[in-house]
Structures are given as C-alpha cells and as structure tokens.
Structure 1
Amino acid sequence: MKNTILKYIILPNFLILSLLINNSCDRFTEVGLPKNQITREVVFKDDQLAKSAMAGVYRSLDEQGFLSGAPSGAQLVLAAYADELQAYGSATTDAAIFYNLSHMATTDKIKNLWTITYTQIYNINAVIEGVENSDSLSSEVKNRLKGEGYFLRALLHLYLTQTFGSIPYVTSTNYQVNQSIGKLGTSQVYAQCKTDLETAVPLLPATLAVGNRVYPTKMAAYTVLARMAYYEKNWDSALQYSNLVIADVQYKMEADLNKVFLKDSSGSIWHLLPFGATYNAYQGNVFILNTAPPTNVALRQDFIDEFETGDQRKAAWIGQKTDAQNKTYYYPYKYKQYYTSPTSLEYSVILRVEELYLIRAEAYIKKGQYDLGIADINTIRNRAGLASLANTTDQNILINALIQERRSELFTEFGHRFYDLKHYDFADVIMISKKGQWRPYFKLLPLPASELLLNPNLNPQNDGY
C-alpha cells in the first residue's frame, strides 16, 4: 500500500465498509482512501456530517480492536491468553494461538491489533483536527466531538501500553511525524493519557440518561482516570475519581444480575451501540454455545471451580452445554441475546460502576481504611448473594478476597483478568501453574515485527521475542 497522508474522513452507513476494509494497511501510519471519499473540509462544515464522522469511529471500535466484543476483537484472545477461556479450535485460530502461548512477533493477530488500533487513533486525530480547524460547526458539536476524541485517544493508548509496554503516543495525522515516531515508556504514556482525559472532562456532558450512554461523559473519563490510578497504585487519585462516579445517584448497581448487561442498566457508564436497531452486542453471538463440544472457546474448568459456593454470578452469568458423551462445557452468559431481537436489548458495556467499587475498595485497604474497603467488597458480594466479609485488619486476607471478586465480577470483559494478573504481580505464579509453557516475558505482547522493520525508532523489541 502506498504511503498517503489522510486528507479525508470516513463516514458511516454508505462508507462504513471502507473504514473497516481499509484497516488492513501495511503500517499504522498508512490509511487507505475509500472510493467515495469526502474531504475533511466538507465534512467539518456541517454539524451532522461531523457527528457522522465520529459515528464511523464508534462503529470501528465495536467491530475491531481492544474495545470490540466481536470475534475479531481483543476481548476473546486476551481471555484465552490468561486463565479464563480454553480454546477448542485448530491450532492456527487466533484463540488457540493465544491460549497455547504460541504467539510470536510475526503473529497476524498481534499485527492486526496494533494496526487497527493505530488506525482508529489516526481517525480520531482526524476528527479532532477537523473540528479544531472548523469555523462552521456549532460550539456544542465542537466541544462534544473534541471531548469524545480526547477521551477515546487516551483510552486506546492506555490499552496499547498495558498490552505492549512502551509505545508511540500518536496525536497527529502528520505522516512525516508518524512514519518515524518513537516510543514512550508506560509512565510517559500514562501522563499523556491523563492530559487527554483532563482536556476531555470540561468538554463532555456530565452524564447521559439510562439506556442512552453510547457516548463518553465526564463519568466515563473519571472511570478511566480511576482505572489508571489503580494501575499506577496511586490510591489518593483512585479514591478521588471513583468517588466522583459512585456518588452520582444516576449510576447505581443493578440489584438483579440479569439486568447488568442490558442497554437500560443503571450501572452502565459507557456502552457501544450495536450495528442496527434490531442487533445486540456481539458477545452473545461470540460466547454462547449452541452445540457441544465447542468449536472455538469455552470457559476453563478451573475458572468454574474457583467460584465460591452460593455465588449467584455462576448461575446468572455462566451457561452450559452438554455433548453427546454427557460432558458439560461452560460459557460466558453475561449477554443473553445470540443475535437479533425485535429491538436491541443489549449494548456492549465498556465501563460499569462495579469496577469503581472494586478500585475504591483496594484504595481504602491500601490506605488502611479497612472498614470502608470491606464495605465496598461486601457491596459486590451481597449483590451476588454471598455473605459479608468479616471485619479484619489483615491486608493480605482482604486483597486476596478482592482479587477473587474481580475475577468473578469482571471475567471475559476486555482483558481485565490479564491486566489484573500483572497489577497484583502474580502473573508468573498463576500462569505457570496453569500453563507450563508460560514465560515471564509473556506479560507483554511482542511489537509486530513488520512495524520494527518499517520504523526502526520502535526498537528495541520487547524482551524475549
């Protein structure tokens, strides 16, 4: 593919296929032009066209990359890479490659994940630049789109650095800059993410109504800032940002576990809109087993066995299918809709308030405020039908309980388990016990070999690869 500077923005509906097709570029700084191209200058003279440009970004996020629940998304392979899913397909499938830890720097899925994500970032930057340079858009639309752009750019870079380590932080569509861009360390990436999120906050709406949280809000930005503080073990910031969301009466945990992943869930902070009015989140189609044995993935037996007796999440969020030999397989059943319904019932939940209770619990525990930490853990446990933890000041007991709650609450949701294993610094201990071929350097994926050849400034390769 020839090197080109993107001067065009891709619109959804009649151009959305071009957006998806053109993700197969040779490097993340190359983005092909759709056949029906509309110049940026035209798009950003009209509020509706500008909003449609950002809608194309959201459609891409739902279809591919770190935030996608689709078969091509990272959610499935990261769960197989850690200790949640077992692969049953051929050794060449993406899930099997990650499950078997046979990935390499030349693995197609790794290259695609990198390229797709940077293509998404590139298109986000195109929206930000188009909005900033427009003198025709209304101030309301300009603020909203810029806020969404900064938020999305931060979140995607956060996933990249959590997965690959040192990475480029791309803030421009300038090809001459991007073709030789270097890497930043994780702490530097975090700093850039914070800057983008803090820039986004005053531009975003405070909240959106239940069932319509398909765009980022201030609450979504606070949630990502809280997650970053959790990763960095900055417990004061973790408390600050988690409190901002939990204190908002519009964001409440659903008492009924079967309502958590419905589009009208009050605990949903941000979710992605499905493809059409009768479509549902991809996760039901990806995970639900209609036949057994599985042809792609199912939950690991040791994961099932680790649920505490009486945990209602096991009944509500895990389905099962038995084959002709009477062997039972288990699958994630958080999303109940396999395909379409008369109207959409389930949206793909990217951020939800339960995560903030778990982040705040750890912050309280680490700061020695054990009673408050226990109360937050018990909020999650009690909703799942489990008895409250007894009061204790033993930090090890409380952290182990918290780890189990995160495992049972957030399983198969966009890599939480993989990133948690690293956060608690027990990835090697856990993974070696479950996958003998695990190596310490597997805590990061390799940088795509093709990218290192095209841009030497991305060297060195991650250790071990």
Structure 2
Amino acid sequence: MKKIIYTVIAFILLSCNDFLEVDLPNDQLTADLVFKDDQLARSAMAGVYRSLEEKGFLSGSSAGGGGYMGCYADELVSYQVSTSDLAQLYSTTVNPQSNVVKTLWNDTYGQLYSINRVITGLTISTTLSAEVKNKLMGEALFLRALLHFYLTQTFGDVPYVTSVDYVENSKISKTDADEVLGLALEDLAKAESLLPEQLPPGMRIRPTKMAVYAVQARIFLFQKDWDKAIIASSKVISQGSYGIETDISKTFLKESKSSIWQLEPIRAGNNTKEGTFYTILSAPPTQVSLSYDFVNSFFPQDLRKGKWIGSKSDSQQNMYYFPSKYKQSSVTATTMEHSIVLRVEELFLIRSEAYLHQQMLLPSLADLNIVRVRAGLPAYGSSIPNDIMNEIIKERRHELFTEFGHRFYDLKRLDLLDDVLPLVKPQWKPFNRNWPLPESELLLNPNLGPQNNGY
C-alpha cells in the first residue's frame, strides 16, 4: 500500500455533539501531543468518524458501500455515464484499473491507518485518563474489526493491518478470508471489555457492547457458527431498551429504539448522506434508482413498500423509485436523522436463521414473524426448512435494502450470486463474487498478489 501521510490536524474536526467539541489551537499539532490530552485524543477519534461518514463502506454517500454494493447486486440501477464508478458496478465491468476499486481500497486502508494511529497513541500514552483511554481504545478496536469484515467480504483475502509502520505495511501480504474474520473477532472481544454497556435512544453515536454483540452475531452467521450467532444476537434482543419500532416510520429517526449504532452528521442541522444521495427530486434520475424487479418483489400490503420507498415520475409519466428510509434530503433546524449502521431487526433475522439451522423451527418462525408482522404482513407458518429459509432471505432483502451491502453479502455467503445476478446482469461471471485488487497496489507491493481469480 502507498504510504499514507497524515498530520494530526486532519483528525481535529468539530462536531455538534458535546463529546466531540474541543478548543483547538491554530497551529499544527504533533502526534505525541494529541495523546497527552483527553480532549485532543477525542478529537483524533472524531476525525475517524467524520471520514467514515464521508466515504468508504460505512458512508451513505455516492462514494459509500450502500450505493456501491446496491449497484453491484440487484437493488439499484445506475443512470450515470458508463465510465462512472456506479455505472461500472451496475454493469459488472469493474477491473483492476477501475477508479472505484482503487478508491474503496485506499479509503478503507486510509481509515484503518488512522484507527491504528489512534490505537498506537493510546497504547503509549501515560497521561490520558483511564476512562477516555479505555473508551477510545474500545471504539478503535471495534471499527478496525468492522472495516476488515467489509474488506474481506468484498475483496476476499486481504491484509489485516494493525501497524502504522510504513516499512511493514509496504510489504504486507494478504490474510486468508477466514483468518480475517477470526482476527476481527479477537479485536471485538477486546473492545467488548472496554466499551460501555449501552447508550439511550437518540445518543447511540458511539459503539457500545451492544454494537460489539451485533457484529459478532453477523460474523458468526457468516462462519455458520449457529450457537454463537444465537448467543450474541440474544444479548442485544434481551435488552429492554432495544426493540423493533412497531411504527416502521420511526425506524430511521435518530431516536429509534431499534438503532444500535449510528453515524452522526458532522454539523448541527445536517442529516444523512443517504437522504441526499438516494432521494430523487426530479426525474429522470441522474444517479440511481431502485430496480423495478426489487420494487415489484414486495407484497402490496407490506408497509415497507409504502413507507420506505419513494417515487418520482418524469414528463412522460415514467415512474422511478428510490429508497426513502431517510426522509430528510436537506438541512433542517435540528438534525432529525443519523445514519443507522446497526439495528436490532438484523439480529432477529440472524437469530431466526441460526435457529433454523439448529432445527429449532418454532423459535425461528417467531423471530421471523416479529419482523414480518410489524411490516403489515401475516405471520408466516411452515414446517419445511427450505421454505422458511427462502422466507428469511426475502425478509432480509426487504428489510435491509441499500444498507451497507447486505443484499450482495447475503447472496455471496449463501452461494446464490450465480443463480440470481445473471438474471439481471448478463455480463455477470462467477469470478465477480470478489472484486479485483487495485492494480496500482499490486505494483507497489507484489506481496499482495496474486490478483483475484478472473482479473
């Protein structure tokens, strides 16, 4: 990887939240000074969160994981020019020289460098308060695990980077995808011991133990470790302050009780990148819309179709549909919506799937129907495991659409990519399950080779 040079001033970013607001000096700060002071250490971490909101896997912008993977799967249609990032993903023409491949790789490893810089600074500091040091360390370890999860699900084998040493990183080799998940679980276990139990609704803008359990449950699901997936998801579901909003129109408000962890906009009055990116204000759209196949896959009585999908017609009365989970597409008097990265509905579906694989059909159906019934659908009943599994897949598709790539990663882990995507993407090839590694990075560091199969 290229040497990433950061000055500490890049970390020092203001936020409307009191926890992040600090008085800043006008001159640049040395790296050592940041970790001698609680407020400046907090500001370093604030810089990480701002980067996550603006770009990479956790961003709701046009340069974010939801848009990228939605176009790459079967959720979104791109209306950009054929050479653009989203259009290349939609048409499955990405290659090792594609800008989107290089950008997502470099943005994410840049974020990991920043996270590891924080971890290093916290580790060597002798002057920070124990409370701040432990909390920031837990947050950094949590984020390091989560970003590596997305990297390996997208690219396959990738380096698990824990160092800020340029020489070491410039020669680093890939880590097997299964080992990446194992290392992520190790980071999460460390984070769990350092983070607070939970935060109240409306204030869930920092990772907690509940966020750790949510990501652990997801990784256990991907590893097919059903017992551990049940245990981890149950830790959140059993908490009385986390539950599904019976009124689904409240699900994506910042005060939603189903929210586990959110990214807060950087300025007061700003709302989510998703609301700005996805909302179609005039038709035909210039960026993306929901695919007709996806919109038509909902039952008419499904409240999610009416509440979470908007529409706009052009002068010829052609209708275009867009995700409207987030209603605010512009600045408001006060911030009304945060980008919700983790929410409890996913955990009910994880536990439902895990129960099913343990031949526990009644608990599986109970969790599945908690999600279905609040969406206005009748309770699903079957004694046939394959039918229940198909219903879980449908529910994940309808519940989690355009949220950080769930659809693509589900099809991949279930080995359904080659059954589903060729129906809507004629150019789809089996090797497209993994993105190519950026050619520029392979040239800089041959130890990253070989290139992924097919590219």
Which TM-score band (shorter chain)? Answer: over 0.9
Q: Are 2:429 and 1:428 equivalent residues in the alignment?
A: no
Counterparts of 1:90 and 1:273, CA distance in 2 = 31
Q: Are 2:131 and 1:162 equivalent residues in the alignment?
A: no
1:452 aligned residue: 442
Q: Are 2:80 and 1:83 equivalent residues in the alignment?
A: no
Q: Please tell me the residue identity of whatever aligns with 2:123.
A: E
Kindly tell me: are residues 143 and 9 of structure 1, through their superposed partners in 2, closer, same or farther at Cα, counting changes over 3 Å? farther
Q: Is the 8 A contact 2:349 2:368 kept in 1?
A: yes
2:20 aligned residue: none
Q: Please tell me the residue identity of whatever aligns with 1:152.
A: L
Question: Which residue, 164, 167, 183 being the options, matches 1:176?
Answer: 167
Q: What's the secondary structure of 1:38's corresponding residue? A: coil
2:122 aligned residue: 131
Counterparts of 1:47 and 1:157, CA distance in 2 = 27
TM-score when scaled to structure 1?
0.94
Shift of 1:37: 3.5
Counterparts of 1:6 and 1:180, CA distance in 2 = 20
2:22 aligned residue: none
Kindly tell me: are residues 176 and 381 of structure 1, through their superposed partners in 2, closer, same or farther at Cα, counting changes over 3 Å? same
Question: Which residue, 218, 222, 241 being the options, matches 2:213?
Answer: 222
Shift of 1:5: 6.5
Question: Which residue, 324, 343, 346 being the options, matches 2:334?
Answer: 343
Q: Is the 8 A contact 1:9 1:43 kept in 2?
A: no
Q: Please tell me the residue identity of whatever aligns with 2:230.
A: L
Q: Which range moved further: 194-203 or 85-94?
A: 85-94
Q: Are 2:348 and 1:357 equivalent residues in the alignment?
A: yes
The 5 A counterparts of 1:312-351 are 312-351=303-342
Question: Which residue, 399, 409, 416 being the options, matches 2:389?
Answer: 399
Q: Is the 8 A contact 2:14 2:266 kept in 1?
A: no
Question: Which residue, 32, 45, 49 being the options, matches 2:36?
Answer: 45
Counterparts of 1:94 and 1:398, CA distance in 2 = 37
| Deviation by residue 1:169-223 (Cα, 9 ceiling, x = unmatched) | 0001011110100011111101100110000001000001110100000000000
Counterparts of 2:346 and 2:11, CA distance in 1 = 33
Q: Please tell me the residue identity of whatever aligns with 2:410.
A: D
Q: Are 2:61 and 1:70 equivalent residues in the alignment?
A: yes
Shift of 1:424: 1.4
The 5 A counterparts of 1:110-149 are 110-149=101-140
Q: Which protein has greater RCO, CA pairs closer than 8 Å, 6+ apart?
A: 2
Shift of 1:4: 6.8
Q: Please tell me the residue identity of whatever aligns with 2:454.
A: G
Q: What's the secondary structure of 1:52's corresponding residue? A: helix
Counterparts of 1:411 and 1:272, CA distance in 2 = 18
Percent identity (aligned): 49
Q: Please tell me the residue identity of whatever aligns with 2:323.
A: P
Q: Is the 8 A contact 1:65 1:73 kept in 2?
A: yes
Shift of 1:10: 3.1
Q: Are 2:13 and 1:13 equivalent residues in the alignment?
A: yes
Q: Please tell me the residue identity of whatever aligns with 1:439.
A: K
Q: What's the secondary structure of 2:125's corresponding residue? A: coil
| Deviation by residue 1:207-259 (Cα, 9 ceiling, x = unmatched) | 01110100000000000000001111110110010000000011111111111
Counterparts of 1:72 and 1:335, CA distance in 2 = 17
Q: Please tell me the residue identity of whatever aligns with 1:304.
A: V
The 5 A counterparts of 1:263-412 are 263-390=254-381, 392-412=382-402
Counterparts of 2:27 and 2:249, CA distance in 1 = 43
Q: Please tell me the residue identity of whatever aligns with 2:435.
A: L
Q: Are 2:433 and 1:443 equivalent residues in the alignment?
A: yes
| Deviation by residue 1:27-70 (Cα, 9 ceiling, x = unmatched) | xxxxxxxx953212111111000001000000000000000001
Q: What's the secondary structure of 1:404's corresponding residue? A: helix
Counterparts of 1:428 and 1:59, CA distance in 2 = 36
Q: Is the 8 A contact 2:115 2:144 kept in 1?
A: yes
Q: Is the 8 A contact 2:149 2:184 kept in 1?
A: yes
Q: Please tell me the residue identity of whatever aligns with 1:427.
A: L
Counterparts of 2:81 and 2:27, CA distance in 1 = 39
| Deviation by residue 1:373-418 (Cα, 9 ceiling, x = unmatched) | 000110000010000012x321100000000000000000000000
| Deviation by residue 1:71-119 (Cα, 9 ceiling, x = unmatched) | 2212101101100001112112211110011111100111010001001
Over 4 Å off, 4+ runs:
1-9
Kindly tell me: are residues 224 and 47 of structure 1, through their superposed partners in 2, closer, same or farther at Cα, counting changes over 3 Å? same
Q: Please tell me the residue identity of whatever aligns with 2:364.
A: G
Q: Please tell me the residue identity of whatever aligns with 1:94.
A: D
Q: Is the 8 A contact 2:13 2:46 kept in 1?
A: no
Shift of 1:134: 0.6
The unaligned stretches of length 5 or more in structure 2 are 16-25
Shift of 1:2: 8.8
Shift of 1:6: 5.6
Kindly tell me: are residues 94 and 218 of structure 1, through their superposed partners in 2, closer, same or farther at Cα, counting changes over 3 Å? same
Q: Is the 8 A contact 2:160 2:174 kept in 1?
A: yes
Question: Which residue, 222, 225, 240 being the options, matches 1:231?
Answer: 222
Q: Is the 8 A contact 2:149 2:180 kept in 1?
A: yes
Kindly tell me: are residues 341 and 173 of structure 1, through their superposed partners in 2, closer, same or farther at Cα, counting changes over 3 Å? same
Q: Please tell me the residue identity of whatever aligns with 2:250.
A: K
TM-score when scaled to structure 2?
0.96
Shift of 1:11: 2.6
| Deviation by residue 1:330-388 (Cα, 9 ceiling, x = unmatched) | 00000000111000000000000000000000001110000000001100000100000
Shift of 1:423: 1.6
Kindly tell me: are residues 94 and 252 of structure 1, through their superposed partners in 2, closer, same or farther at Cα, counting changes over 3 Å? same
Q: Is the 8 A contact 1:69 1:283 kept in 2?
A: yes
Q: Please tell me the residue identity of whatever aligns with 2:153.
A: Q
Shift of 1:12: 2.9
CA RMSD of aligned residues (A): 1.5
Counterparts of 1:145 and 1:396, CA distance in 2 = 44
Q: Is the 8 A contact 1:5 1:173 kept in 2?
A: no
Q: Please tell me the residue identity of whatever aligns with 1:107.
A: S
Q: Are 2:398 and 1:419 equivalent residues in the alignment?
A: no
Kindly tell me: are residues 176 and 399 of structure 1, through their superposed partners in 2, closer, same or farther at Cα, counting changes over 3 Å? same
